Structure 1
Amino acid sequence: MTTTIDRAAPADIADLRQLYYAVYGPHYPAALGTDPAEMSRLIADPHTLWLVARCARTGHLAGSAAIHGEPGSRIGRLEGLAVHPDHRAGGLAHTLTDELCRQMLTAGRLDSVYATVRTVSAGPQRVVTRNGFTPLGVLPNAVDLSSRESLALYARYSPGVLDRRLPVPEVPAPLAQLLRTVARTLGTDGPEPRATAPAPAPEGRSTARLEMVEAPAFVRRRFHERFPDATSWFYPLHTPNALLVADDGGFEVYAYLNRTGRYCALIAAHPSPATAAGYLEAITRTLTRAGTGYVEALVPLAEHGPLSAFLAQGFIPSALYPAMRPDPSGTGFHDYVVMTRTAEQIDFRGVVVDTALQPYVDAYLSAWAATYLPTLEVAS
């Protein structure tokens, strides 16, 4: 079958929705394939490149993929990769991904592009690997499709970006295996950060009462009032739509809550992350009661205290995003850790991982066991 690759157009929206339904069924959690208004916005967005593959004979859509960016950021997200079941033997997934990366990375528009890839089969992992993406971790129970699924984090970089990672002198010991795995994957041979004991858990009230506000327009306005400078927060490509407020007004936590996929990303805290650090248990419990099965946060690798706070509340270091964010001084790039916590039982029996991803599953299981399996003393 001969196909042509070109940019998605507003006239394609109805056919795109049919394509995503054919590939993912009725449970696809992203607005990119389900919400006509958001799809129209992304097609017109100058920071997003959305490509489609058309059957040359019929004009029908055979595939779709996009790299989504945002103003003020040089990180993109590969999303919406879908090939119609009738056209999966022609290498369309590879062709679409390669063309997207050529235009966005090779041309220097972005520093890096990441993808969260399904693990129900090895096929999606091999597509991104063939297109120069590197595995960086696993995100167990990350999204609810027809059932709870785990995802894998991959990223691809513009030339020279990984060579400018800023060194970190020490990290909490539970991160050590993940960092060693990333170093082997990237082939880096520099000095490893020193593994030290996590800092004591911050004082807080696990019984704190929180109010949760789900009013996207209000939350967005308040967020931009609190954080007018984009450098004050660091969660790319997620706009908060939920607000958690302590009953005494002591802090606010901004989050992106996806009701369809039943997952949540913690984006920022006011007046500072340290203020909310002692309340992570109450925050997570509130989100779980709201139906969230998975919570994640991005934490700078250099921030020993916040990492320790997440570890103390049962969050697991699941992935590392090297050279994710440039330092404002322009001297290099900071690494970030994806800290995750799931409220549901993890079942890896249905997970299929490619060889390159297996060490990350091992690192996660080791960190999970160290967190949740007690060390028993044997009495003689």
Structure 2
Amino acid sequence: MTATIETAAAADIADLRQLYYAVYGPHYPVALGTDPAEMSRLIADPHSLWLVARCPRTGGLAGSAAIRSEAGSRTGKLEGLAVHPDHRAAGLAGTLTEELCARMLDTGRLDSVYATVRTVSTGPQRVVSRNGFRPLGILPNAVDLSSRESLALYARHSDGILDRRLPVPEVPAPLAPLLRTVERSLGISYAGTEATAPLPAPAEPTAAPLEMIEAPAFVRRRFRERFPDAAQWFYPLHTPNVLLMPDDGRFEVYAYLNRTGGYCALVAAHPAPADAAAWLEPITRTLTRAGAGYVEALLPLSQHGLLSACLAQGFIPSALYPAMRPEGDGFTDYVVMTRTTEQIDFRGLAVDEPLQPYLDAYVSAWASTYLPTLEVAP
């Protein structure tokens, strides 16, 4: 079947919801396939692109995929890649992915596009790999669908972007295995980056209560007031819906919490991330009580102090995104630091060969963080 590729329209929303239900069942935790208002906003967004594949015989939707971006950002996210079970032998996933990248990357609208890919089978990993995406890491327990699933992070860059990465003088030593893996996988070098001892953990905070405000409209307004420049956010493409702060208001942490999927992304901190570094443990504990079995933060690779603070509170370097953000004439590398409070079970993981070294690096980092070093007395 040769499907017709078209830009999604508001009139397609009902059929799109049926498509995502047919592919993922009732547990799909992403608004792109379930929330008509959010779907309508994405279709109308001039910074994003949503394509559908239409069956030429029936006119029904056979597949769907989108690249989402936002004003001021040169990074996009491949989302909602879905092909109806009746059309999975037609190569539609690859066709949609390549057409999206041709329109958003090859034309210069974006510098890179990333995707979080399911690991219940190797099929999704191979689809993005065949379309120029390369693995960057593993995100254990990242989302709760019918069960707790791990995701893989992949990205595709425009030509020449990786050659413009800004140098990083040093990183905490626990990040070294991840850097070596990225070097081998992407063919880039961190030869000038020294692995040094993590900085001492920040002093434990005084026993001031930590409050969590769940008022999405208020949080969005306050966030835009505090951070009019998107370059100050930890995490692009995530609009915070919760605000955490101690009762004396000395700092504010903005996060996106998805209770349906059981995950959370730390988006930004005011006045600066360092002001909240000592509070990572109570922040994570509060979010866990609110339903997040998985918490992640996206931090610049050059921020040795922030990375050390995350390591001290049990966060694991899980993925590395080279040249993620423009900075002057170059590009900054970012690290995804993750922490899960639920038991990790990799027995059901289906990992394609290029992704395996990242899984090995994660397991090594997890063991060095959570397994004690035993001394045997003579």
**Band of TM-score, shorter chain:** over 0.9
Q: Aligned residue for 1:229?
A: 229
Aligned residues: 378
1:95 is the counterpart of 2:95 = yes
> Is residue 206–residue 279 contact of structure 1 (8 Å, CA) maintained in 2?
no
- Take 2:233 and 2:134, find their aligned partners in 1: how far apart are those partners? 25
Aligned match of 1:339: 337
Deviation at 1:224, TM superposition (A): 1.1
Do 2:234 and 2:266's aligned partners in 1 also have CA atoms closer than 8 Å?
Answer: no
Give the CA RMSD over aligned residues. 1.0
Contact 1:206 1:281 in 2 (8 A): no
Deviation at 1:203, TM superposition (A): 1.2
Amino acid at match of 1:199: L
Counterparts of 2:74 and 2:333 in 1: how far apart (Å)?
15
Paired residue secondary structure (1:349): coil
Does the 8 Å CA contact 2:321/2:334 hold for their aligned counterparts? yes
**Shift in Å at residue 206 of structure 1?**
7.4
Identity %: 80
> Are 2:375 and 1:377 aligned?
yes
Q: State the TM-score, normalized to the length of structure 1.
A: 0.98
Q: Deviations over 1:86-128 (max 9, x none)?
A: 1000100000000000000001100000000000000000000
* 2-structure distance, mates of 1:109, 1:189: 27
Aligned to 1:42: 42
Cα deviations by residue, 1:56-79 (Å, 9 ceiling, x for unpaired)? 010010000000010000100000
1:184-199 to 2 correspondences below 5 Å: 184-189=184-189, 191-199=191-199
Structure 2 residue runs without a partner (length 5+): none
User: What's the CA shift for 1:188?
Assistant: 2.1
Distance 1:204 1:190, change over 3 A: closer
Map Cα deviations across residues 21-58 of structure 1 (whole Å, 9 max, x no partner): 00001111110000001111111111111000000010
- Residue number in structure 2 paired with 1:367: 365
- Report whether the alignment pairs 1:356 with 2:326: no
Distance across 2 between alignment mates of 1:190 and 1:120: 32
Correspondence 1:266 to 2:266: yes
Which whole-Å CA distance do the structure 2 matches of 1:98 and 1:234 have between them? 28
Kept in 2, the 8 Å contact 1:198–1:304? The answer is yes
1:60-99 equivalences in 2 (<5 Å): 60-99=60-99
Q: Identify the residue that residue 244 of structure 2 maps to in structure 1.
A: 244
Counterpart Cα distance in 1 of 2:45 and 2:123? 30
- Provide the secondary structure at the position in 2 that maps to 1:350: coil
- Rate the CA distance shift 1:291–1:190 in 2: closer, same or farther, 3 A: closer
Structure 1 residue 174: Cα displacement: 0.2
Q: 2:254–2:268: 8 Å Cα contact kept in structure 1?
A: yes
What SS class does the counterpart of residue 278 from structure 1 fall into? helix
Distance 1:256 1:206, change over 3 A: farther
Structure 2 Cα separation of the partners of residues 110 and 218 of structure 1: 30
The gaps in structure 1 that reach 5 residues or longer are: none
Shift of 1:187: 1.1
In the alignment, the residues of structure 2 paired with residue 43 and residue 99 of structure 1 have an alpha-carbon distance, to the nearest angstrom, of 16
CA apart distance, 1:204: 2.8
Partner Cα separation in structure 2 for residue 190 and residue 268 of structure 1: 27
Q: Which residue number corresponds to residue 145 of structure 1? A: 145
The TM-score with structure 2 as length reference comes to 0.99
